[in-house]
Amino acid sequence: MNRAPLVVVGDALLDRDLDGRAERLAPDAPVPVVDDPAEQRRPGGAALAATMAAALDGRQVVLVTALAGDEPGTTLRGLLELAGVEVADLGLTGETPEKIRVRVDGRSLLRLDRGSRPGRVGPLDRTGRRALAGAGAVLVADYGRGVAAEPSVRAALAALPANLPLVWDPHPRGPAPVPGVRLATPNRSEAAGFVPQVGGDGLAAVTARARLLARRWSAAGVAVTLGSGGALLVGGDGAPLVVPAPAAGGGDPCGAGDRFAAATAGLLGDGALPSQAVAGAVAAASSFVAAGGAATVRLGAGGPAAVAPVAAAGTPLERARALIAGVRVEGGTVVATGGCFDLIHAGHVATLRSARGLGDCLVVCLNSDDSVRGLKGPERPLVPQADRVAVLEALGCVDVVVPFDERTPEAVLDHLRPDVFAKGGDYALTDLPEADLLATWGGQAVVLPYLEGRSTTQLMKEVVRRDSH
């Protein structure tokens, strides 16, 4: 790998998920009984940010952290080794913290925290200093447990070259970022806690808090993450940049902040502008959430990190696969439909809404401009592909759009393998060329009723008629 490594500095935790079934209440208390929970262990805190940068973005990563010599600490070292993350361990006197989520059908029921009292972090050693000296970018993923506050660590961060991208993901219990960070990335509630004197929760209030934090921390920029609303970036006195998140149904937000921060730091290290890095990080975090969040991180002894397929700037097909993976983690139903969608009208919208109602996500397989020309002649489409994609993705019932160049969507359907393929119009199932293909993996092709009198051809004829009068 030619890129200099991303160095992540911060507190490592061990996350454990216990996933089981709940079909009855306990006889001695009105609480659910979780049967046969399966346990999954994964890196948490700064260790999760480092793991995602290595596994999802393919980066060389060094984690500067503090681990105790207990069983959770030993487990964390092994998981980080599997992820390909090099560890510069400062040493921790005390317990390695654990967060345990008890989950039922993919949804959290209860969280248990162990090692809640922070231990004593050792000073930055030669290995940590060498890592910082060779970094292409640095991310401080602070979880308020002492690594970012350790005096030698803080001094080394403050002494980094001004041209080295430093991203600081702050924590309410942690120290303020060192002066001169390239970007600080609090979430909305953290920003409100840091600046309680600014009331309100709208974009104006978020902007005011971000500007105050940028001045207080002497930061070049502050990007406030807004959950499903994306992120707001301020830098200087100009208007804030708001990067909306792609529309997505469901998902698990656990780990989204770490995904955003890690992607931002990596992209800045690659030479991206802050606006470009924030846009890429919003896309990365949104895909990560749609795919199922931190619960999709799989680290096994059979090889390197195996993680749900998520890409910061993924192709439509990659984004669709990530969405589908997340829906299937939750046991949901994947629905797809296809068409040209040239001059989208009420008939299209009715069909798309009906299709989305058949499952838990909707992927639209869209005929590309070349495909439409092949089907309908050289004068079509009237609306170019990029605009058709934008209009479709603006509909709340559409989760992702995947263009294809063939006359029919069989190839892209074979890649995605939805549970249901829905088509609107006057078809019999035997007329749908996709029906036989769906049957090969146990999927079902269905026909949806179409609104009478609505069609692109009729709209075109009406325009010509009115122009002729």
DSSP string, 175-193: PPPPTT-SEE--BHHHHHH
CB-based contact 131:88 (threshold 8 Å)? yes
Concatenating the DSSP letter of every residue in 197-217 gives TS---SHHHHHHHHHHHHHHH
CB-based contact 15:101 (threshold 8 Å)? yes
**Token pair recorded at residue 197:** 């004197």
Q: What are the distances in angstroms from CA 290 to CA 141, 181, 295, 321? A: 22, 30, 11, 10
Q: What are the pLDDT digits (tens) for 212-231?
A: 999 999 999 999 999 988 99
Residues serving a catalytic function are 258
Q: What are the pLDDT digits (tens) for 323-360?
A: 888 788 778 899 999 998 988 878 888 889 888 989 99
Contacts of 170 (CB under 8 A, 6+ apart): 142, 176, 177, 184, 185, 186, 190, 194
Mean pLDDT of the chain: 86
Say what the pLDDT of residue 39 is.
85
Concatenating the DSSP letter of every residue in 130-146 gives HHHHT-SEEEEE--SSS
Q: Say if residue 174's pLDDT is above 90.
A: yes
Concatenating the DSSP letter of every residue in 428-454 gives -GGG-THHHHHHHTT-EEEEE---TT-
Instruction: Give the domain ranges of the chain.
Output: 6-307, 333-466
Q: What's the CA dihedral at 16, 89, 83, 85 to 10 degrees?
A: 150
Are 6-307 and 333-466 in the same CATH fold?
Answer: no
CB-based contact 124:90 (threshold 8 Å)? yes
Prediction pTM value = 0.67
Torsions phi, psi for 209 (to 5 deg): -65, -45
Residue in the block written with tokens 């609505």: 454
Tell me the fold of 333-466. Answer: Rossmann fold (3.40.50)
Beta bridge partner(s), residue 337 = 364, 422
Q: How far apart are CA 340 and CA 343, in angstroms?
A: 9
- Cis bond upstream, residue 165 (ω within 30): no
Q: How far apart are CA 148 and CA 455, in angstroms?
A: 61
Q: How far apart are CA 355 and CA 337, in angstroms?
A: 7
Say what the pLDDT of residue 412 is.
94
Q: What are the pLDDT digits (tens) for 63-113?
A: 999 999 999 999 999 999 988 999 999 999 989 999 998 988 777 889 898
Beta bridge partner(s), residue 17 = 40, 101
Alpha helix (H) ranges present in 330-455?
346-356, 369-376, 385-394, 410-416, 434-440
Q: Say if residue 311's pLDDT is above 60.
A: no
Say what the pLDDT of residue 413 is.
95
How many angstroms separate the most distant Cα atoms in the chain? 86
Task: Report the SS3 class of residue 362.
Answer: strand
Q: How confident is the model at residue 168 (pLDDT cuts 50, 70, 90)?
A: very high
Q: Which CATH number fits domain 6-307: 3.40.640.10, 3.40.1190.20, 3.10.20.600, 3.30.360.10?
A: 3.40.1190.20
Say what the pLDDT of residue 447 is.
84
